[in-house]
Amino acid sequence: MTTVDLPLLPLGRGTDLDTERGVECPGDLPPASDPNLVERARVAKEKLGERLFILGHHYQRDEVIQFADVTGDSFKLAREAAARPEAEYIVFCGVHFMAESADILTSDEQTVILPDLAAGCSMADMARLGQVEDAWDALADAGVGDVVVPITYMNSSADIKAFCGRHGGAVCTSSNAEVALRWAYEQHGPDTKVLFFPDQHLGRNTAVLQLGLSLDDCVVWNPLLPNGGLTTEELRAARIILWKGHCSVHGRFSPDVIDELRAKDPEINILVHPECTHEVVLKADLIGSTEFIIDTIRKAPAGSSWAIGTELNLVKRLAQAHPDLSISFLDRNVCYCSTMNRIDLPHLVRTLESLVAGQVLNVIDVDDDTEHWAKVALDRMLALPAKAPADD
């Protein structure tokens, strides 16, 4: 392996996978508090000018978000990337599946970069293509394969999105899961079933609270058990087959804390993301996507009090931006998303300075076939109405 002499930050071995491009990881991460890093990022960004577009997911650290040209949820960011054809380099400060979606929706002339390739998503990793294919085969064996529509949450790998594209399904996000499920149930008449992955909680919350299905209509497919842990009769009777996946952050909020908070402050508003468990969502006042949470707080009356169940970086920023509100994090035992937090200022500086030096690190490049079918599933989602008729 060739070592290229570049003005790179001393990153720890194993944090980046740049060997294909001939760059060896030269050391440990410096502390993020290094005051020079802010200036170095600013200078490198300025040098790259219009050639660079930095996207920052709402859950990113402050030290990174300050350099984002646009912030948003995963879906908004992918669209923003697609709307910037003049940008040669899209640096995605988020996690792997988001960078893949940006690569799928941008042109071949644009390069999507993830500053740390180890920034994955534990939820997305809970549904692997081979496992999903096994579930699909089991549904066919149960005699219901012809009426199943696969719907995958945006938080899934590109090959899972492509699976949905190939099999008449679609992608959804936390903002349009209801619309996507209603569309799915129109595909094969009253017998239609949905296979929903990877987040069982988003699937259950949407099916039960927005579509009016019962908990008995839902079964959970455990990919680690033979036949998903389900009998053929259970598969035949189910209206929605939920993948046994969850978010390691949102899945940890607890309904008990909501009771405690309400006992202390009966006026408190509980606002949570639909990746939280059904028990938490049932006790909340308002449920919605990251963008919905931001919008709700923006419109909240001065003096009102809120406990928010979503990623801590975002909740802290909301609290700072709205000093006229009382905003708290919903649970003292839930921590930051560890993979989102892998993108830190040292990684961003290294990415930008490498680009200035002509080295493109950590490229996310989805293969053509996967890209084609994943785009089919994404385009089906884009063709859906923005809101369910019942919401109007």
Name the site residues for ligand SF4 (rule: CB under 6 A): 59, 95, 121-123, 155, 247-249, 311, 337, 339-340
Distance CA 150, CA 88 (A): 34
Question: Taking CB under 6 A as the rule, does residue 341 contact ligand 13P?
Answer: no
Cα distances from 47 to residues 88, 89, 241, 328, 358, in angstroms, run: 13, 13, 50, 39, 12
What is the smallest separation between the CB atom of 374 and ligand 13P, expressed in angstroms?
A: 17
**Binding map of ligand 13P across residues 136-165, x = CB under 6 A, - = no contact:** ------------------xx----------
What's phi and psi for 251, nearest 5 deg? -70, -10
Stretch that binds ligand 13P, among 14-22, 73-81, 99-107, 257-265 (CB under 6 A): 73-81
List the single partner that 253 binds among ligand SF4, ligand 13P, none, CB under 5 to 8 Å by kind: none
CB of 371 within 8 A of CB of 26? no
- For 32-49, letters b (16+ CB in 10 Å) and e give eeeeebeebbeebbeebe
- For 10-31, letters b (16+ CB in 10 Å) and e give ebeeebbebeeeebebbeebbe
Closest CB to ligand 13P among residues 75, 329: 75
Closest CB to ligand 13P among residues 55, 144: 55
Distance CA 183, CA 173 (A): 14
Closest CB to ligand 13P among residues 37, 154: 154
Question: Taking CB under 6 A as the rule, does residue 55 contact ligand 13P?
Answer: no
Closest CB to ligand 13P among residues 37, 65: 65
Question: Taking CB under 6 A as the rule, does residue 289 contact ligand 13P?
Answer: yes
What is the smallest separation between the CB atom of 72 and ligand SF4, expressed in angstroms?
A: 14
Distance CA 239, CA 68 (A): 42
List residues binding ligand 13P (CB under 6 A): 73-75, 121, 154-155, 173-174, 247, 275, 289-290
